[in-house]
Structure 1
Amino acid sequence: MSKPFELHSRAISRRSFLIMAGGFGVAVAFGGLPGSALGATVAPTVEGDYRPNAWVTIAADGMISIICPASEMGQGIMTTLPLLVAEEMDADWDRVRIVQAPSDAETYGNPGFYGIQLTGGSESTRGYYDLLRLIGAQTRKVILASAAAMLNVPARELTTEPGRVMHVPSGRTLGYGEIAADGPLPEPLPQATETDLKPDDQWRYIGRRDIPRIDVPSKVDGSAIFGMDVQLPDMLYGAVLRAPVQGERPGTIDDAEARAVPGATHIVPLSYGVGVIGETVEATRRAKDLLKVTWSTSSRVRNYTSSRLLEQFRSVARDVSQTGIEAFSKGDADAAIANAAMVIEADYMSDLVCHATMEPMNATALVNGDTVEIWAPTQGPTGTQGFAAEVVGTTPDKVKVNVTLLGGGFGRKAEADFIVDAVSLAREVEGRPVKVIWSREDDIRHDKFRPLEAQHIRVGLDSDGNIAGWRHRIVADSIFARTNAELFARAGGHDDVVTEGAHFNYAVPAHRIDYIRQDNGLDIGFWFAVGVGYTRFAIECVIDEIAAAKGTDPLQLRLELLRDQPRGRNVVETVARIAEWDRERDGRALGLAYSDAFGSHCAQIAEVSLNRATGVIRVHKVWCAVDPGVAIQPRHIEGMMIVGITNGTGHALFEQINIVDGEVQEGNFDTYRVIRMSEAPEIEVAVVPASGSPVGGMGQVGLPPVGPAIANAVARLTGGVRLRHYPFLPERVKAALEA
């Protein structure tokens, strides 16, 4: 299905815009912007009548409700974003309640995603950072204006402390609750500009380590509401049988046995499958298993065999006569390589991988005439509104989306297929809510996988061993061709999320990146770090190959190439220091990799051992140094790095989807291998923010460097054996050792 949005763009102008929310307006102008018991709580609804803007409401008892516009899927964003508002308005964090934003992109859309509501791309903090700080500053100005009227003093004589306005000359104070109860809202509402923001040396909350995530207590005590937990009166359940090959349609349907299942109430033919509605989850699952369906045989995906196609992709990448889309060009890379004293060439490949979120896809929908209400663990409320409206034949403004907590997302829950399931079935039983829950097998076999891809890199070195030219060719299908065809067309057929990360900040005089699309019909999608996860694999491994060819320490080579990048040099130097890069290890080796993606800088070193007889790699420890620009919550950043490194280790060693003649071969965790607790490395993280730098994204930063760090460690351990194919399966490692 085509999607009316995309997951990677910061093209919107941030110079100025007007935030409107009902009768509340805030003029926002940007001037050249490039406790032990401390903690807010989560609340289901807003309370209070004092509303300085659409984001903040203050109750008479002093409780402050702050809207969180992004989806919480374990990255801590439900704490981070409201904290920015609380910081600037001088809220008492112990008196704050966080409320999930309603589906209202005009009010709560992300400036980093063209103003739609969407969580992904490590864009939430970057997209909302300036806006929410200004919302907080504007809220404080409204509170001060109200207090000035109540105290009959000029607002310039007032200051604030958390939750309280102070008039120092008279010694009088007013709590925010008192102002909410009796204070008049000023007319017109004051405006906020950059000059109203606190300098960082006055921050009370930003940068503190003792502010816990507000979503954790409910997850510990079991009261948290994920999509799977939604319960509504008179609710039915649903399941959908999909074709074993993507794109096929049901032909004949024998549902006699399915209809006989106790509790099964409806069998619903769909354009892409067969739905079952029932009184219980068990009834729908049983009936679904008893359906006998013949499927069409016209899908192009029937010709999709991943192992064969990957070899084809590699051949295309090597064949310079097959031209693609120029994604980036600086200097004349071809001429520099042609005149080089030495040329290094390498192929790097990655298999398909699935998301395998802990919480499988699910959604609950209620259809009444032309109105729809949805409860779902979705990353994209705006997209959800659009697709639900399309199913029912209504308009997006008549679709209400209630975003629950997400049991993992990684880009998968930005899709709408599970939403379409729930709305399609709810339409059949108008007036009764229907909850659709995918089985784990459905979840894995019908995922939107990270694309199969092959890369070919040619690097020319001059007579001194310096890089003269770098040519990078990336062969893969397009995500945007499916999710945002208009953007894909405007870009001339380039997909910048598929090639993301190939444009690095190393000092290379001539550099060219080409994208060559291979369209084989399979839907692919956004997966944790997307393109950066494999482009940095290739780049960072080639950097080590260059260092070996020069006889140079790979650490020193990176520092040389980052000579104009102080933030990059700092994380590389920091991780080398904490890992003791120069210390010899008995039977183990260290590998290094660096990434500057998502606006943050991250360097990692992996300590690895190898069983040569079995080909099994063991990652013992990973050190990480990360520069997020502004470290809003340092302890939470450490947690996100641990998540990224753990997932990245599993993805590099184990994760693999195989498709044969269009059918996915894996179906559950017995066949789709993920990292186990006993295999997770020890992880040490150093957060080294750069003062004065813009805030960077964090959610996906930890994953890209760990795979190449592992591969580089194996190369050092084995005297130069290069692993160039994700994942590093034992049989692949043994083959590389024997080559």
Structure 2
Amino acid sequence: MIIDHRTSEASGRIQPTSANALTRRSFLQAGAAAGGGLLLSLSLPFAVRGAEAAGTTFAPNAFLRITPEGQVVLTMPYVEMGQGTYTSIPMLIAEELELELSQVQLEHAPPNEELYVNPLLGVQATGNSNAIRGAWQPLRQAGATARTMLVAAAAKGWNVDAASCRARSGEVFHEPTGRRLKYAELAAHATGMPIPVNVALKEPKDFRLIGTPAKRLDTPAKVNGTAVYGIDARPPGVKIATLAQSPVFGGRVKSVDDAAAKAVNGVRQIVRLNDAVAVVADHMGAAKKGLEALVIDWDDGQYEGLSTEAILGELEEATLYPGAVAQSVGDADSALPSAHTQLEATYHVPFLAHAPMEPMNCTVHARSDAVEIWVGTQAITRVQAAAAATAGVLLEQVTVHNHLIGGGFGRRLEADGAARAVEIAKHVDGPVKVVWTREEDIQHDMYRPMFFDRLSAGLDAKGMPAAWKNRFAGSSIIARWLPPAFNNGFDHDTTEGAIDLAYDLPNFHVEFTRVEPPGIPTAFWRSVGPSHNVFVTESFMDELAAAAKQDPVAYRLALLEKTPRAKAVLALAAEKAGWGQTLPERSGRGVSIQHAFASYMAQVAEVEVAKGGTVRVKRVVCAVDCGTVVNPDTVKAQIQSGIMFGITAALYGQITLKNGRVEQANFDSYQILRMDEAPEVEVHIVQNSESPGGLGEAGTSAIVPAVTNAIYAATGKRLRQLPVDSAALREPQ
């Protein structure tokens, strides 16, 4: 399904030239003469015009082409990391181009921010649950334009009206005479047709593929082992390296005794850097043994005394003072003192690691005048730029081969791993694959930020919200990663889920204070802002319902009259979950709703709390309105995956520091939800014709408050910090 990877050599714009006019005599010879086939150049957010190289031989364009064999090759500007992108996006092309899904092949896009920019991010990257959102209009437009050009070529060759021709299953038919030609036979001549402007896209009622369940195209290769991830790359002569980095962020190497490491069979060399030591060997086993044999004396630097408690204290202190106003509606300051009932609460969430099943890795061949890289990355242009800067070469001297990703969750939006691999590769003759051990992966991650929230609310005489205030502090990843998007002291990513709520709140005020933790690198983590904000918002909303002595679902429904899509998913989830039905002792149901990533979602979690405090999530019911659904199977799988990821964070997830060192090291101390702990998950999709919303991260953020609210329903104990503290839930003896 995925063909040879394209590389990163700079692609200059090629100006189009006119193709020879189509004649009856030459028409049937088009397939043999086509060479590269149909090369489409479309005015799209992430594509510019491609064109003929010479005569009827064409260079691949930025987006898609048709080979002489009739295969449509889509150059994919997004990466596949388990979310189903490599099935759902080809469905868009296949739908409008009138193909079977099996006729579409993919290749990874090379780094080229001009051609392959994500239209919703402004950079070439896969993230923010927006691959389908970004591709929805441009990819359908691409398919429709290609179809129109192919039909026009056939009509011209047959000397008939194009309206009498139809495209179907990779062929153009002339219905009155029954004549037909395959796309491959039309490809070369179609390039000479005028590119139509504003072609009509299909109406939803005419969709054949969009909205129907499609089996994942990448599943067979992943099952039979032929799928190539970054860690699978093996260029000829490759050596394997692993490394130890300073256990304290910002620390340095003082001295290294590598005699024992060099004596390990298979170890080829030791590479010492300022803040790390790498062992290069014939295979991973030898590299790990060599690493264990190293005796390294570290200079811990200025952060040697850093602790989680100190960072949390700094965040808490910051919320005592005004921050940047992210949103203000009405006058919360005036409404709060006069409210019938007033409530206050503080919440905080910890640092979280990504812990993908494929640990960080990057293969590099560094030469004096060029660098070649094999990696799985969510942001290929950033890898290319980081490699060029580290190696001291020009951008066009760096070739990047992108591969499938065995778990990204935002971690592979960063280029630090590639830069580190290039640092090591500069000392190695030939290609070297640098693989981080699980311990290095967890203890030198770039973490989901820690946040602290200070909330207050006022209720009127009927128990409904009269005022809502939230002031929170934490890191802004956007401020580092995409500085132009950090404006007026905040960014949308950090505040999503805390502002623009679905609820009708007459007096609403939210402030954010940026506080970067000393020495601790932070980065995107699956659902980022909502992973923190939805927990806080939906937990506090539950507190308001409890103070008003009202049912949590009914309380929310009363506040959603102006947001019918949110109200519909909440009502559906509650109905399907059997909300209100009796549960056994120390069992409870909790609810949450959210509007994030342009999708509406409600979840109901059913939990059981053992007398010893252990929490088991037994069942989750989710209702989602994500607009037009491309592949319902992928929608359900994404939500199921996000729920498991979110439950892991709710029950177990935390990164803590002591004496400047991350205390967690592997899955024994950074626990992941086990298969036997996984709940039953039901997903109910609300169909409508709105533009698609995002789903890769939505399930992760919505599940956390549903779980903690369910724990409150089961035990009467409100949890305002994560992860769940089982000791606090124990039944007194």
Q: TM-score, normalised by structure 2?
A: 0.90
Letter in 1 for 2:196: Q
Contact 1:652 1:728 in 2 (8 A): yes
Matched, 1:237 2:240: yes
Matched, 1:292 2:295: yes
Contact 2:247 2:300 in 1 (8 A): no
* CA apart distance, 1:527: 0.7
Structure 2 counterpart of 1:530: 528
Which residue of 102, 116, 120 corresponds with 1:112? 120
* CA apart distance, 1:402: 1.4
Structure 2 counterpart of 1:305: 307
Equivalent-residue separation in structure 2 for 1:51 and 1:386 (angstroms)? 25
Equivalent-residue separation in structure 2 for 1:129 and 1:304 (angstroms)? 46
Matched, 1:452 2:450: yes
Spell out, residue by residue over 1:269-328, the C-alpha distance to the aligned partner (whole angstroms, 9 max, x if none): 2233123322222232222223333333333x33421134324433543x2xx1222222
Structure 2 counterpart of 1:630: 628
Structure 1 counterpart of 2:162: 155
> What SS is found at the alignment partner of 2:265?
coil
> What SS is found at the alignment partner of 2:462?
coil
> What SS is found at the alignment partner of 2:288?
helix
* CA apart distance, 1:244: 0.5
CA gap of 1:25–1:595, structure 2 versus 1, over 3 A, is same
Which residue of 575, 578, 585 corresponds with 2:576? 578
Structure 2 counterpart of 1:132: 139
* CA apart distance, 1:653: 0.7
Matched, 1:175 2:171: no
CA gap of 1:51–1:273, structure 2 versus 1, over 3 A, is closer
Aligned 1:175-324 pairs, distance under 5 A: 175-180=182-187, 183-187=188-192, 189-193=194-198, 195-209=199-213, 211-299=214-302, 301-317=303-319, 319=320, 322-324=321-323
Which residue of 104, 112, 126 corresponds with 1:96? 104
Letter in 2 for 1:338: P
Letter in 2 for 1:25: S
Contact 1:64 1:97 in 2 (8 A): yes
* CA apart distance, 1:471: 0.7
Equivalent-residue separation in structure 2 for 1:127 and 1:372 (angstroms)? 31
> What SS is found at the alignment partner of 2:617?
strand
Spell out, residue by residue over 1:310-361, the C-alpha distance to the aligned partner (whole angstroms, 9 max, x if none): 24433543x2xx1222222222221121221211111111111111101100
Q: Which runs of 4+ in 1 moved over 4 A?
A: 19-24, 48-53
Structure 1 counterpart of 2:723: 727
Structure 2 counterpart of 1:494: 490
Equivalent-residue separation in structure 2 for 1:555 and 1:150 (angstroms)? 64
Matched, 1:518 2:515: yes
Equivalent-residue separation in structure 1 for 2:73 and 2:170 (angstroms)? 13
Aligned Cα root-mean-square deviation (Å):
2.2
Equivalent-residue separation in structure 2 for 1:29 and 1:285 (angstroms)? 46
Equivalent-residue separation in structure 2 for 1:498 and 1:54 (angstroms)? 33
Equivalent-residue separation in structure 1 for 2:305 and 2:623 (angstroms)? 44
Contact 2:153 2:193 in 1 (8 A): no
Spell out, residue by residue over 1:215-261, the C-alpha distance to the aligned partner (whole angstroms, 9 max, x if none): 11111111111112111111111222200001112233333333333
Equivalent-residue separation in structure 1 for 2:720 and 2:421 (angstroms)? 42
Query: Which residues of structure 1 form unaligned runs of 5+?
Result: 1-18, 31-47
Letter in 1 for 2:275: Y
Spell out, residue by residue over 1:393-449, the C-alpha distance to the aligned partner (whole angstroms, 9 max, x if none): 12323222211111111001111121112222222235x211111100011100111
> What SS is found at the alignment partner of 1:310?
helix
Q: TM-score, normalised by structure 1?
A: 0.89
> What SS is found at the alignment partner of 1:590?
strand
Equivalent-residue separation in structure 2 for 1:298 and 1:398 (angstroms)? 36
Aligned 1:518-597 pairs, distance under 5 A: 518-519=515-516, 520-587=518-585, 588-597=587-596
Matched, 1:164 2:168: no
Aligned 1:680-695 pairs, distance under 5 A: 680-691=678-689, 693-695=690-692
Letter in 2 for 1:405: L
* CA apart distance, 1:575: 0.6
> What SS is found at the alignment partner of 1:585?
coil
Contact 1:656 1:673 in 2 (8 A): no
Equivalent-residue separation in structure 2 for 1:29 and 1:685 (angstroms)? 33
Which residue of 472, 475, 481 corresponds with 2:473? 475
* CA apart distance, 1:486: 5.3
Matched, 1:365 2:328: no
> What SS is found at the alignment partner of 2:364?
strand
Structure 2 counterpart of 1:7: none
Equivalent-residue separation in structure 1 for 2:197 and 2:687 (angstroms)? 27
> What SS is found at the alignment partner of 2:167?
strand
Structure 1 counterpart of 2:5: none
Letter in 2 for 1:512: H
Contact 1:547 1:554 in 2 (8 A): yes
* CA apart distance, 1:264: 2.4
Q: Percent identity?
A: 36
Structure 2 counterpart of 1:707: 704
Equivalent-residue separation in structure 2 for 1:231 and 1:56 (angstroms)? 28
Equivalent-residue separation in structure 2 for 1:260 and 1:156 (angstroms)? 77
Equivalent-residue separation in structure 2 for 1:593 and 1:707 (angstroms)? 8
Matched, 1:405 2:366: no
Query: Which residues of structure 2 form unaligned runs of 5+?
Result: 1-11, 17-39, 47-55
Contact 1:21 1:54 in 2 (8 A): no
Structure 1 counterpart of 2:438: 440
* CA apart distance, 1:51: 7.5
